[in-house]
Chains A and B, each alone.
Chain A
Amino acid sequence: MAKEEKVDKAQFKRFFPAKKKVCRFCQMDVREIDYKNVDILRRYVPEKGKLSPRRTTGTCSFHQRRLAQAVKRARIMALLPFVAE
Chain B
Amino acid sequence: MRHYETGVIIAPNLSDEEIDQQIKQMAEVIASMKGQLHREERWGKRKLAYPIKKFADGYYVFLHYESEANVPAELERRFRQSDQILRFLTVKKPPTQRRPLKKGEKEAEEEAPQLGVSEVEATGEKEKSRDEEKKKVKEGEAESKEREKDKGREVF
Contact = CB atoms under 8 A, between A and B. Distances in A.
A33 B49 contact: no
B52 interface: yes
Would you call the interface of chain A mostly helix, strand, loop, or mixed?
loop
A36 B89 CA distance: 11
A10 interface: no
B49 A81 contact: yes
Interface in B97-156: 97-99, 115, 130-131, 134, 145, 148-149, 151-153, 155-156
A32 B49 contact: no
Interface stretch (A1-9, A11-19, A53-61, A71-79): A71-79
23 contacts: A25-B152, A27-B148, A27-B152, A28-B148, A28-B151, A28-B156, A29-B99, A29-B149, A30-B153, A30-B156, A31-B99, A33-B156, A35-B89, A37-B155, A40-B156, A73-B89, A73-B91, A76-B89, A77-B87, A77-B89, A78-B48, A78-B87, A81-B50
Contacts, number: 64
B50 A78 contact: yes
Contacts of A79: 49
Identify the interface centre among A32, A73, A80, A82: most chain B CB within 10 Å of its CB: A32
B52 A34 contact: no
Would you call the interface of chain B mostly helix, strand, loop, or mixed?
mixed
Interface residues of B, number: 28
Interface size class of A (residues with CB under 8 A): 20 to 34
Interface of B: 7, 9, 48-50, 52, 58, 60, 62, 87, 89, 91, 94, 97-99, 115, 130-131, 134, 145, 148-149, 151-153, 155-156
A81 to B, nearest CB: 4
